[in-house]
Amino acid sequence: MQYRRLGHAGLRLSALSVGSWVTYHNQVDAKSAAEMMAAAYDAGVNFFDNAEVYAGGRSEEIMGAALAQLGWPRLNYVVSSKYFWGLDRAGDAVNRKDTLNRKSRRRAVDGSLKRLGLEPLDLIYCHRADPHTPIDETVRAMSDLIVQGKALYWGTSEWSADEIRAAWMVADRHGWHRPVVEQPQYHLFHRKRVEHEYARLYDDIGLGLTTWSPLASGLLTGKYRAGVPAGSRGAMDNMAFLRDGLTDAAKNAAVAQLEPVAAELGGSVAQLAIAWAASNPRVSSVITGASRLAQLHDNLGALALIEKMTPEVKARIEAVTASLAG
């Protein structure tokens, strides 16, 4: 396993990590989660990503139960969670949903600590930007959570470059804890934000990246070339919004063209896609997801392909995917 610094921070993360979005509770119970987390840990994975909103808090409960069962030394692993959407969204839900105000942040993080059975959390993220809360209030609230010992580092997820820079500058001006990481979507068909919009932030403020959806929700596995298979993410009722993208004819044709490239390197298209994302030196860790142990092992097989991502291989991949990338 490769380990990489989280931007300019001293924390080091495994190049491949494990996330719980969609899978935990919906497809993976506590027993299976513990089994897969143990296999990942044995392979060198030290970073496990979660979010308050995943499965309405149950994802954190499952990961927390697995961590308690596994009993690893606390310094050996990193756990993150993310906040914005809220859990109690019924009715008017003022100050309970879609906000990063101070009142909601403290309560949300306290809930995660209880569900995960941890204190502190290693990383906490603002899951989206909040245009209705002043940036200085959000930054101060996140910094204070670190001062209070509830978290060690904080960052953002799916924020614009301007929003990240504004948050960093507010923190720097006041001597508060600055954001150190962004968690964006990044895969062969979704690249512009990571490769262009954030370009100056890596050196200017030392931004680290923990990227999500390296397989484009499964599109880059090739499983959707003949439609939406039963039992897949695209077949889930709460994932219906993904179906048009997963069955996009041009992108599925591109996936088919990547198969011989992957085969020449001794891997699958899925492993090729994960290795491609991990080969970006700006990426601290690529968050992968799995609903089965075999799928986890397949994802981890991408490690062998990272060093094979030569300029020539990348050029071949680029020729197939660049025109379809957003």
Report residue 171 as tokens.
Answer: 């923190």
| Model confidence pLDDT, tens digit, residues 256-272 | 999 999 999 999 999 99
Give me the count of residues in the chain: 326
Q: Which of 247, 293, 300 is nearest to 23 (CA)?
A: 293
Rounded mean pLDDT, 199-207 = 98
Assess whether pLDDT exceeds 70 at residue 199.
Answer: yes
CA–CA gap between residue 264 and residue 309 (Å, rounded): 12
For 17, half-sphere exposure in the C-beta direction (CA atoms, 13 angstrom radius) is: 30
Q: For the residues 209-235, what does the mean pLDDT come to?
A: 78
Interacting residues of 260 by C-beta distance below 8 A, sequence separation 6+ = none
Q: How many domains does the chain have?
A: 1
In 43-87, which residue ranges form alpha helices assigned H by DSSP?
58-70
Comparing 190 with 232, which gets the higher pLDDT? 190
Tokens, residue 20: 């719980």
Cα distance from N-terminal residue to C-terminal residue, the chain:
30
Average of pLDDT values for 220-234? 67
Domain of residue 230, CATH code? 3.20.20.100
* Sequence-ordered alpha helix ranges (H) in the chain: 30-42, 58-70, 102-116, 135-147, 161-174, 192, 199-204, 243-246, 249-264, 269-278, 293-300, 303-306, 311-321
**DSSP label at 177?**
P
Q: Is the pLDDT of residue 169 over 80?
A: yes
pLDDT at 91: 79
Q: What would the pLDDT profile of 229-244 be if each residue is shown by its tens digit?
A: 655 555 555 565 565 6
Within 8 A by CB and 6+ apart from 283, the residues are 4, 15, 186, 194, 209, 210, 211, 277
- Dig out the tokens for 129 from the structure: 């930007």
16 burial class (0-12, 13-18, 19+ CB within 10 angstroms)? Answer: buried
d(CA 187, CA 212) in angstroms, rounded, equals: 8
Rounded average pLDDT over 249-261: 93
For the annotated catalytic residues, the residue numbers are 54
Share of the chain above pLDDT 70, in %: 94
For residue 231, the model assigns a pLDDT of 53
Supply the pLDDT for residue 228. 65
pLDDT digits (tens, 9 = 90+) for 4-28: 999 999 999 999 999 998 788 888 8
- Per-residue pLDDT at 25: 83
Residue-wise pLDDT for 264-322, tens only, equals 999 999 999 999 999 999 999 999 999 999 999 999 999 999 999 999 999 999 999 99
pLDDT tens profile 112-168: 999 999 999 999 999 999 999 999 999 999 999 999 999 999 999 999 999 999 999
Q: pTM above 0.85?
A: yes
177 lies in which domain range?
3-324
Average pLDDT, the chain: 93
Which strand (E) or helix (H) includes residue 182?
strand 181-182
